[in-house]
């Protein structure tokens, strides 16, 4: 194999992760204090990929260049959707045709999934069958939210059924958002327009008997919604716990598993964890409790706060004696004044100043 390439789709708008996605693309969301994209690069590089092409929009390209995640030795190129026309999940593949070239099959993956899979295995499965596309299929308990594959015995995909009811689901194998494509697939994608690979390209390939599935067994999570993003952090925190160097607790308590960057300042008698992930430059006052939460960098949390099950965006300032309930999302740079309660599921917009209790989850932007 000469040069193994991967195209990473990362130009969507991540509407389900708002407001945190207003100022960062999904692929840069932190998973245990490392951008998801860095985890992806690492896995691709380990499996012999040499070049990653980022299919983005202009803003995503800007954020990725600005954050400059570690490349793990990969050569990185960008292919940017036209400003007025997001190209969907198929159009960016056609747009990157010249960068990808026609020499070898290549990998395409969604930039918003955490997948512990072997790309090598996926490629060798692809090369054995003569398929034009091989889709990684992941077994899930509830397939009804996804595209579900109907497979024949030799792993041909007969069709996908989008979001079926449980009685109509032909299997519990879903499209994991990772594919190996042969260059011939470029002929199936119209140029310069939005195309959905799932809805427009795969059905044609399936009809022609050129679409195969390959089951993957490792961890697979899509970080598309706030609960899934938090859950991904918790699962990876569990998996990584033994590799994490813990800050030595002086006058505060750490309940593992927990991840805290070295520069965190934590006040006495505070209890951090279990499942608290604190990014860089975080300050926590005394007597505060934080658990089951992801705290983005540069957040200040006052004394005697209780934060459980929340996502707190970068640079937010939380006053003293504040209670933040489960499912709350605090946008970047928001300010929550002293002595307030935000009950379950409250979302606060970026830079918003909250001066009163919010006991109703809606309408705070
Ligand atoms: P939601 O708005 O929350 O549904 O998210 P999304 O549209 O960003 O993500 P979705 O899960 O629908 O897309 C799967 C992957 O394709 C993600 O990694 C997206 O970033 C990417 N993607 C989606 N639409 C586009 C697009 O128009 N252009 C490019 N380049 N990538 C896209």
Other CB atoms within 10 Å distance of the CB of residue 144? 16
Regarding whether 221 and 89 lie in a shared domain, the answer is yes
Residue whose entry in the numeric block shows the structure tokens 């970068």: 314
pLDDT attached to residue 163? 86
Among 65, 75, 128, 163, the active-site one is 163
Ligand 1 centroid–CA 91 distance in Å is 12
Per residue in 2-61, pLDDT tens? 679 999 999 999 999 999 999 999 999 999 999 999 999 999 999 999 999 999 999 999
Ligand 1 centroid–CA 24 distance in Å is 13
Regarding whether 211 and 96 lie in a shared domain, the answer is yes
Are the beta carbons of 322 and 339 closer than 8 angstroms? yes
The C-alpha atoms of residue 32 and residue 34 are separated, in whole angstroms, by: 6
Please report which confidence band the pLDDT of residue 359 belongs to, taking 50, 70 and 90 as the band edges. confident
**Probe target for ligand 1 pocket from 7, 8, 9, with the most ligand atoms within 8 Å of CB:** 9
| Statement: residue 97 has pLDDT above 70 | yes
Ligand 1 centroid–CA 15 distance in Å is 9
The string of DSSP codes covering 173-242 is EEEEEEEEE-GGGGGGS-TTS---IIIIIHHHHHHTT-EEEEEE-S-EEE--SHHHHHHHHHHHHHHHGG
- For 136-145, 191-200, 247-256, 346-355, which range has the lowest pLDDT when averaged over its residues? 247-256
Using alpha carbons, list the distances in angstroms from residue 1 to 48, 51, 339.
10, 13, 62
Residue 180 placed within a domain: yes
3-state secondary structure of 143: helix
3-state secondary structure of 91: helix
Nearest protein Cα to ligand 1, atom 30: 11
89: Cβ below 6 Å to ligand 1? Answer: yes
Regarding whether 154 and 35 lie in a shared domain, the answer is yes
Exposure string (b/e) for 105-122, b if CB count within 10 Å is 16 or more?
bbbbbbbbbbbebbbeeb
Regarding whether 149 and 108 lie in a shared domain, the answer is yes
> What pTM was computed for the model?
0.94
Regarding whether 309 and 270 lie in a shared domain, the answer is yes
pLDDT attached to residue 2? 63
Regarding whether 250 and 210 lie in a shared domain, the answer is no
- Closest atom of ligand 1 relative to the 13 alpha carbon: 8
Residues of the chain above pLDDT 90, percent: 83
Using alpha carbons, list the distances in angstroms from residue 141 to 67, 145, 287.
36, 11, 40
pLDDT attached to residue 362? 67
**Probe target for ligand 1 pocket from 6, 12, 36, 179, with the most ligand atoms within 8 Å of CB:** 12
Domain span holding position 252: 244-354
Regarding whether 98 and 152 lie in a shared domain, the answer is yes
Backbone angles phi, psi at 276, to 5 degrees: -110, 130
Ligand 1 centroid–CA 11 distance in Å is 6
Please report which confidence band the pLDDT of residue 88 belongs to, taking 50, 70 and 90 as the band edges. very high
| Number of domains composing the chain | 2
Instruction: Assign residue 66 the CATH number of its domain.
Output: 3.90.550.10
Residue 145 placed within a domain: yes
Regarding whether 176 and 27 lie in a shared domain, the answer is yes
Q: Examine the fold and report which residue of 192, 226, 260 is the final residue of a domain before the chain moves on.
A: 226
pLDDT attached to residue 146? 86
Per residue in 300-322, pLDDT tens? 999 999 999 999 999 999 999 99
The candidate with the shortest Cα–Cα distance to 177, out of 241, 108, 250, is 108
Residue 359 placed within a domain: no
**Probe target for ligand 1 pocket from 89, 192, 229, with the most ligand atoms within 8 Å of CB:** 89
Please report which confidence band the pLDDT of residue 326 belongs to, taking 50, 70 and 90 as the band edges. very high
The distance of Cα 75 from the centroid of its chain, to the nearest Å, equals 21
pLDDT attached to residue 365? 62
Ligand 1 centroid–CA 223 distance in Å is 12
Ligand 1 centroid–CA 12 distance in Å is 3
Residue 109 placed within a domain: yes
88: Cβ below 6 Å to ligand 1? Answer: yes
Q: Examine the fold and report which residue of 174, 197, 226 is the final residue of a domain before the chain moves on.
A: 226
Using alpha carbons, list the distances in angstroms from residue 150 to 86, 155, 159, 206.
30, 9, 5, 10
CA Rg, the chain, in Å?
22
Instruction: Assign residue 316 the CATH number of its domain.
Output: 2.160.10.10
Regarding whether 252 and 222 lie in a shared domain, the answer is no
Active site residue 84: no
Regarding whether 118 and 86 lie in a shared domain, the answer is yes
Nearest protein Cα to ligand 1, atom 23: 12
Here the tokens at position 258 are 């927990």
| Statement: residue 358 has pLDDT above 70 | yes
| Statement: residue 1 has pLDDT above 60 | no
Here the tokens at position 287 are 């007597």
Regarding whether 87 and 211 lie in a shared domain, the answer is yes
Residue 65 placed within a domain: yes
Q: What is the average pLDDT value for the chain, to the nearest integer?
A: 93
Regarding whether 200 and 71 lie in a shared domain, the answer is yes
Please report which confidence band the pLDDT of residue 364 belongs to, taking 50, 70 and 90 as the band edges. low
Residue 174 placed within a domain: yes
Q: Examine the fold and report which residue of 165, 200, 226 is the final residue of a domain before the chain moves on.
A: 226
Residue 363 placed within a domain: no
| Statement: residue 363 has pLDDT above 60 | no
Residue 37 placed within a domain: yes
pLDDT attached to residue 126? 96
């Amino acid at each position: 194999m000469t040069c193994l390439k991967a195209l990473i789709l990362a130009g969507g708008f991540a509407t389900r992760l708002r407001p945190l996605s207003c100022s960062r693309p999904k692929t840069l969301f932190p998973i245990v204090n490392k951008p998801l994209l860095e985890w992806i690069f690492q896995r691709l590089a380990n499996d012999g990929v040499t070049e990653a092409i980022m299919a983005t929009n202009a803003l995503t390209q800007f954020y990725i260049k600005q954050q400059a995640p570690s490349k793990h030795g990969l050569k990185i190129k960008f292919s940017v959707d036209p400003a007025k026309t997001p190209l969907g999940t198929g159009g960016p593949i056609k747009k990157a045709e010249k960068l990808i070239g026609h020499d070898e099959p290549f990998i395409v993956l969604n930039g918003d999934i955490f997948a512990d899979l072997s790309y090598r295995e996926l490629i060798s499965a692809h090369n054995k069958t003569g398929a034009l596309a091989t889709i990684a299929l992941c077994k899930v308990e509830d397939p009804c939210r996804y595209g579900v594959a109907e497979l024949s015995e030799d792993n041909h995909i007969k069709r996908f059924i989008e979001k079926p009811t449980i009685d109509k689901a032909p299997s519990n194998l879903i499209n994991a958002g990772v594919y190996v494509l042969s260059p011939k697939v470029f002929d199936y994608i119209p140029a310069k327009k939005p195309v959905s690979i799932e809805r427009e390209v795969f059905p044609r390939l399936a009809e022609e008997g050129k679409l195969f599935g390959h089951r993957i067994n490792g961890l697979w999570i899509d970080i598309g919604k706030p609960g899934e993003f938090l859950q991904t952090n918790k699962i990876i925190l569990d998996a990584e716990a033994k590799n994490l160097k813990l800050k030595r607790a002086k006058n505060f308590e750490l309940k593992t598993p927990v991840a805290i960057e070295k520069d965190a300042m934590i006040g006495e008698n505070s209890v951090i964890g279990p499942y608290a992930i604190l990014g860089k430059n975080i300050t926590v006052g005394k007597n505060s409790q934080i658990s089951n939460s992801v705290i983005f960098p540069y957040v200040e949390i006052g004394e005697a706060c209780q934060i459980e099950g929340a996502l707190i965006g970068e640079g937010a300032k939380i006053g003293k004696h504040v209670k933040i309930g489960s499912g709350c999302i605090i946008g970047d740079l928001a300010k929550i004044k002293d002595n307030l309660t935000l009950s379950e599921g409250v979302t606060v917009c970026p830079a918003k100043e909250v001066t009163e209790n919010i006991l109703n989850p809606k309408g705070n932007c």
